[in-house]
Chain A
Amino acid sequence: MSAQLEISEVSKSFGGVQAVSRVSLEVRPGEILSVIGPNGAGKTTLLNMISGFYHPDSGRLTLEGTDISHSAPSRVAELGVARTFQNIALFRGMTVLDNLMLGRHVRMKAGVLASFVYWGLAQREEVAHRRRVEDIIDFLRIQDLRRRPTGSLAYGLQKRVELGRALALDPKILLLDEPMGGCNHEEKEDMARFILDVNQEWGTTIILIEHDMGVVMDISDRVAVLDMGQKIADGSPDEVRANPQVIKAYLGDAKSVANGGQRV
């Protein structure tokens, strides 16, 4: 199977700190790939490079044959990469519905003038986009929250809306930066279910950064491990669990890993 996203030898440093160093990774279409590693291992930097927020100092990122190493975030989004943020990035004063509609902005074609007039193209477009957004609302089971300002929602629900906003882009690849961070057990289970469903229903490739080892090992097809900016392992959850280097660098003593991997 050929890679959908090919990351080859990318490096990024900030001042004297080498955040990511010569990391190569192939992301296959339709898989759930988790990137794990201790704090400061370079996970979020890697995600930022994929989504175009940072550009690598060296190395290349190729998305379905297109070099995106130096593409702007908006361009990467147009190409079908959406992301969620560790610290929720929604418009708190706007309703859930408006936040999701905004998420589709990149897919809207009508210009300012046409939108102003509204009839014709802009109206048809709005209706089509609304339909898609309603699918997402249905999918995420947030029908009752449609008209609620996102700022008034519980944290776990905001995380869900944040996922919805990313889905509104109709992404081919979805980057999730700690979608379960700060959630309680039940919210985590819901989120894990939604991630699996997105992957199954729409075949969306998912790149996940998550600290909860139980979740990572449960839902990932493949796990890549970063430590000090370098990739030290890459394989199925079982392989990674058994990798002595990983155990040493990240998961602590061998016993907790054998017990199914609790959060360290």
Chain B
Amino acid sequence: MSDLTTLPRLLQRNARELGSRPAIREKDRGIWQTWTWREYHDQVRDLALGLAALGFRRGDRLSVIGDNRPRLYWGQVAAQCLGGVPVPVYQDSIAKELAFVWNHAEASVILAEDQEQVDKILGLRAELPALRLVVYDDARGMSGYRYDWLKSYDELQERGRSFATEHPGYFEAEIEKGRPDDVAIISYTSGTTGSPKGAMITHANAVGVAESFRQVSRLTPEDTSLAYLPMAWAGDSVYTLFASLVVGFCANCPESPETVQRDLRELGPSTLLAPPRIWENMLTAVQVRATDSTSLKRRTFEYFRAAAERAEILRTEGKPVPPGLRLATALGEFFVYGPVRDQLGLRRTKWVLTGGAPLGPDTFRFFRSIGVNLKQVYGSTETTGLVSLQPDREANPSTAGRPVSGVEVRIGDRGEVLVKGCAVFKGYFRNDEATREVLDPDGWFHTGDAGFIDPQGHLVIIDRAKDVGALAEGTPFAPQFIENKLKFSPYIREAVAFGHEKPCVAAMVAIDPATVGNWAERRGIPYTSYMDLSQKAEVRELIRVEIRRANQTLPEATRIRRFLLLTKDLEADDAEMTRTRKVRRRYVADKYAAVIAALYGGADEVELSTGITYEDGRQATIQSRVRIEDVEEVATRV
């Protein structure tokens, strides 16, 4: 075990010991195609040698852009085998963001999925002096492209095979040179302020965290996962690259982003990692289908769902479940829970994880009650995606779980969560100043999250530490905490709460066009567009009721008093959110300064002019008048 300190060495071990076991699958031409660990190894080797033949050297950066494809994962491992560093980027980034990352990382090679991605690179070619080689996977539509710096994946592997005959042992020797503290990946964080920062994650981080993850999650080579989250997100690197290599389990790439739900059901993986949004969508889908079905089926579903929730609540409170309820849930397992899990593709899961943002308690309880072992995980790019995880019997919607082995957590000044141990990254690439801000000399990483450790020993996260402010009269104010309460409503997609140094809390709300649209249709309320829908009196009333409900779970002082409905959703393309959908608070406060002034100025209406950015980078401005609503407090129900 002692020499298994880098990912390429783990690949060699897997090829040797798990050679004929499935390593990665991709659904292609309607069929799941499988590659064994031996084939995975050979693919990586040929690719790596092809890169070597074209001058890729130790320390060089290789970027990948595209959907989750085995070849793009192999490209990353190939770079690691040569001592290079993969830099995955978000394929939906706009040109300016891509140019920044590629230039900052000085990527000399980019592995692109298809023509669409190559076209983006072509458009930026003049701005990327360090770029020497672009490799594409899917040759479709590429026959007319003739540049000496552009090669197909197959061409590159061909070069690799001839290079192998000229330089026998080169590949193995390069792997041998790898050290645990070499950088394994640079993961650019989308950052809520300023330009992206490249977090350097070493092989020791990768292997250490994957090992802790394996222990706490009981992962074995028999396990399967679905690789559908963006490759540029550290969570996917940890799960699909690091953990798969360390444990030897099989990762599965869906056919296309549109087929994920169907592919998930076909595959029935044993583990699944999904952000809250996906769980919410699944629950909504179940509810919509229940509503649309016959009354007998609907009532059966409602009855057993309620029974399951009562039982789940008793279980979490540590109380015994009465025999009648136990019988009901046993029947429910047969008639409802099992089939629902099957429909969702969760039938074979031994656990599933949610992380990145808080998940509504109702959603959380629903999945647990139907027998899905849903647990919360907490981590960030700088902590190799994993700080804490809920053990099997301690799952609950409000904590982030226990720190995993090899990771220490303590609470610093202003309640900031500090982390130390094998998960903590090496620093930001070419940004020592930013590194010094978050990494102190004793090795503690300052997460920027405010939280505390509960009596049970679980970490609880409240908000971003820098966002925690105070109302004018002094009550502490945590915007994200309030926003999350709002976002637990199925009708609210995004919310931004204001209140720092203000007399009261006010919020801008973006409705969820799918659920609100459906709601409006069922009530025969006609609408033409998102903007139109968001300004309907009935919709404003609907949201007012939702806000009142959220208010009841908030302390008196921080209840939302006024709100308005935005005429468009907050978008990463408009720089209002990060690619991982976190609100860029300062930017939003500037952009909507007039709106905020109106919220506190007592006006009934405000002129809202929003700039929108199309996917190709063009910009437009939309003018509209937006109503501002008061949430008059109803007498609190007793």
Partner-B contacts on A (CB < 8 A): 130-131, 134-135, 137-139, 141, 143-144, 146, 193, 196-197, 200-201
Task: Please tell me which one of the listed residues A138, A196, A197 contacts residue B29 in the complex, with CB atoms under 8 A apart.
Answer: A138
The stretch that binds A, out of B252-260, B321-329, B352-360, is B252-260
In the bound assembly, the distance between CA atoms of A143 and B259 in angstroms comes to 7
Within B231-269, the residues touching A (CB, 8 Å) are 255-256, 258-259, 262
In the bound assembly, the distance between CA atoms of A137 and B256 in angstroms comes to 12
In the assembled complex, how far is the CB of residue B596 from the closest CB belonging to chain A, in whole angstroms?
A: 35
For the complex, is B553 an interface residue (Cβ under 8 Å from A)?
A: no
Q: Is the CB of A197 within 8 A of B258?
A: no
In the assembled complex, how far is the CB of residue A128 from the closest CB belonging to chain B, in whole angstroms?
A: 12
Partner-A contacts on B (CB < 8 A): 28-31, 140-141, 143-144, 255-256, 258-259, 262
In the bound assembly, the distance between CA atoms of A131 and B30 in angstroms comes to 9
Question: Which A-B residue pairs are the 8 nearest by beta carbons?
Answer: A144-B258, A134-B29, A144-B259, A143-B255, A197-B141, A143-B256, A134-B30, A200-B143
Closest chain A residue, CB of each to CB of B262: A144
Decide: A141 near B256, CB < 8 A? Known: A135-B29, A146-B30: yes
Q: Is the CB of A201 within 8 A of B30?
A: no
Residues in chain B near residue A130, CB distance under 8 A: 30
| 14 more A-B residue pairs beyond the given contacts A143-B258, A144-B256, A200-B141, with a C-beta to C-beta distance below 8 A | A131-B29, A134-B30, A134-B31, A137-B30, A138-B28, A138-B29, A143-B256, A144-B255, A144-B258, A144-B262, A146-B30, A197-B141, A200-B143, A201-B141
Closest chain A residue, CB of each to CB of B257: A144
Task: Please tell me which one of the listed residues B29, B144, B256, B258 contacts residue A200 in the complex, with CB atoms under 8 A apart.
Answer: B144
Residues in chain A near residue B255, CB distance under 8 A: 143-144
In the bound assembly, the distance between CA atoms of A201 and B28 in angstroms comes to 19
Interface of B is mostly: loop
Interface of A is mostly: helix
Q: Can you report 24 residue pairs joining A to B where beta carbons are below 8 Å apart?
A: A130-B30, A134-B29, A134-B30, A135-B29, A137-B30, A138-B28, A139-B140, A143-B30, A143-B255, A143-B258, A143-B259, A144-B255, A144-B256, A146-B30, A193-B141, A196-B141, A197-B140, A197-B141, A200-B141, A200-B143, A200-B144, A201-B140, A201-B141, A201-B143
In the assembled complex, how far is the CB of residue A25 from the closest CB belonging to chain B, in whole angstroms?
A: 26
Residues in chain B near residue A146, CB distance under 8 A: 30
In the assembled complex, how far is the CB of residue B528 from the closest CB belonging to chain A, in whole angstroms?
A: 15
In the bound assembly, the distance between CA atoms of A184 and B15 in angstroms comes to 50
Residues in chain A near residue B258, CB distance under 8 A: 143-144
In the assembled complex, how far is the CB of residue A185 from the closest CB belonging to chain B, in whole angstroms?
A: 12
Residues in chain A near residue B30, CB distance under 8 A: 130, 134, 137, 143, 146
In the bound assembly, the distance between CA atoms of A146 and B256 in angstroms comes to 12
Closest chain A residue, CB of each to CB of B260: A144
In the assembled complex, how far is the CB of residue A197 from the closest CB belonging to chain B, in whole angstroms?
A: 5
Closest chain B residue, CB of each to CB of A131: B29
In the bound assembly, the distance between CA atoms of A144 and B255 in angstroms comes to 8
In the bound assembly, the distance between CA atoms of A193 and B144 in angstroms comes to 13
In the bound assembly, the distance between CA atoms of A139 and B115 in angstroms comes to 12
Residues in chain B near residue A143, CB distance under 8 A: 30, 255-256, 258-259
In the assembled complex, how far is the CB of residue B563 from the closest CB belonging to chain A, in whole angstroms?
A: 34
Residues in chain B near residue A135, CB distance under 8 A: 29
Residues in chain A near residue B31, CB distance under 8 A: 134
In the bound assembly, the distance between CA atoms of A135 and B30 in angstroms comes to 10
Closest chain B residue, CB of each to CB of A144: B258
In the bound assembly, the distance between CA atoms of A251 and B244 in angstroms comes to 62
In the assembled complex, how far is the CB of residue A112 from the closest CB belonging to chain B, in whole angstroms?
A: 26
In the bound assembly, the distance between CA atoms of A197 and B139 in angstroms comes to 11
In the assembled complex, how far is the CB of residue A75 from the closest CB belonging to chain B, in whole angstroms?
A: 31
Closest chain B residue, CB of each to CB of A139: B140
Closest chain B residue, CB of each to CB of A198: B141
Residues in chain B near residue A134, CB distance under 8 A: 29-31
